[in-house]
Amino acid sequence: MADLFSKFDPIIEQREALLAAGLTDPFNLVMEKVESPTVALCNGKRTILLGTYNYMGMTFDPDVVAAGKTALDEFGSGTTGSRVLNGTYAGHRAVEQALKDFYAMDHAMVFSTGYQANLGVISTIAGKDDYIILDIDSHASIYDGCALGNAQIVPFRHNDVEALDKRLKRLPPEAGKLVILEGVYSMLGDIAPLNEMVAVSKAAGAMVLVDEAHSMGFIGEHGRGVAEAEGVMDAVDFIIGTFSKSVGTVGGFCVSNHPRFEILHQPQSAIIAVIMPDLATGAAMWEALLDEGLYVNLARPPATPANMTLLRCSLCALHSEDQVGEILGMFAAAGRATGCID
């Protein structure tokens, strides 16, 4: 049997050599007590922290701590459900509204972590036939998002506008293209020349996503990040961010002005099955919906599983938000007319 762990042997040997030389393991430090954003007790010693992402020192901010306690009191310790089914709470909507206000953007979506924001957004918007052109020094979550969506990956030399431009020009003009950049790169702390990079991306017909994980809150006039500082907020299609760094908590998000962004909030597929108790009620509901001005499919056995009667609804990317509101109203009216709901 091939041991799948054998590939880690060089890392294990390297670590053992470090420890044998009498060094403290730098990748296993435990902070026994965190006294403030800048001081913790490590190995029993009071230690100044110069290696956190607590850029704005928010972790002990009285408002942040109080909001966390209130959320625990009002909502309990977790949603125990996914956002698209049973895991959206009023707090999610409130934070999405706060993000829209903060970035002055039309749409926002929060995730459990910044890692998941990159994974979810990138893998959803760029698929098998699309190209992702990304800085070679991109964060692991960006690479993982690219791999999950199966897009064609085209890396270019770090912060090199000319290299980006060359790669873009080699791609088929009609292909879907997403350029992924970071405002500040986390290891060296260098800043992307977003002004020029966004310009060459747009000239090539590409959409642009900027990960502002290390710039939120303190770069740009309103703290919106490097895209704001470089004056390209209007040209950037998606901004990804995290709450795990400058705002001192946990979670990730995406904000965008894309008119179809809300489709990302809807269920896993475009099909929504509304299950009816029996054929007679299903048919009555179908007719009442038609009277309201809404056409859906009435599906019945043997086309349906488990002998179900259901109203099969399929959303399309062109349904407007207003139409979705209207549809919900029609369901409520038809439900009351047929006695399906009180």
Q: Does 242 engage in binding with ligand PLP (CB under 6 A)?
A: yes
Q: Does 115 engage in binding with ligand PLP (CB under 6 A)?
A: yes
Pattern 133-162, ligand PLP, x by CB under 6 A: ------x-x---------------------
* 206 touches 177 (CB < 8 A): yes
Between CA 142 and CA 146, with CA 144 as vertex, the angle to 5 degrees is: 70
How near is the Cβ of 16 to ligand PLP at its closest, in Å? 27
Q: Does 96 engage in binding with ligand PLP (CB under 6 A)?
A: no
**H runs (alpha helix) in the chain:** 9-20, 62-75, 90-103, 114-125, 140-149, 161-170, 194-203, 226-229, 279-292, 321-338
How near is the Cβ of 162 to ligand PLP at its closest, in Å? 23
Distance CA 238, CA 258 (A): 8
Catalytic, 245? Answer yes
The CA radius of gyration of the chain, in Å to the nearest whole number, is 25
Pattern 51-80, ligand PLP, x by CB under 6 A: ------------------------------
**Among residue numbers 312 through 331, which ones bind ligand PLP (CB under 6 A)?**
none
Between CA 29 and CA 35, with CA 31 as vertex, the angle to 5 degrees is: 155
| End-to-end alpha carbon distance in the chain | 63
Q: Given candidates 52, 186, 266, 304, which one binds ligand PLP under the rule CB under 6 A?
A: 186
How near is the Cβ of 10 to ligand PLP at its closest, in Å? 24
DSSP structure class, residue 25: -
- Taking CB under 6 A as the binding criterion, the range among 58-66, 109-117, 191-199, 302-310 that sits at the site for ligand PLP is 109-117
Pairing of strands 39-42, 271-276: unpaired
Select 113 or 123, whichever has its Cβ closest to ligand PLP.
113
User: Angle at which helices 321-338 and 279-292 pack, to 10 degrees?
Assistant: 130
Q: Given candidates 119, 176, 177, 211, which one binds ligand PLP under the rule CB under 6 A?
A: 211
Nearest residue to ligand PLP on Cβ basis = 114
Tokens read off for 25: 């393991």
How near is the Cβ of 209 to ligand PLP at its closest, in Å? 11
Q: Given candidates 123, 244, 266, 304, which one binds ligand PLP under the rule CB under 6 A?
A: 244
The identity of residue 307, as a single letter, is N
Between CA 74 and CA 81, with CA 79 as vertex, the angle to 5 degrees is: 155
Catalytic, 186? Answer yes
Tokens read off for 64: 């942040």
Select 22 or 189, whichever has its Cβ closest to ligand PLP.
189
Tokens read off for 87: 């895991």
Catalytic, 112? Answer no
Would you tell me which residues interact with ligand PLP (CB under 6 A)?
A: 113-115, 118, 139, 141, 182, 186, 211, 213, 242, 244, 252
Active site members: 186, 214, 245
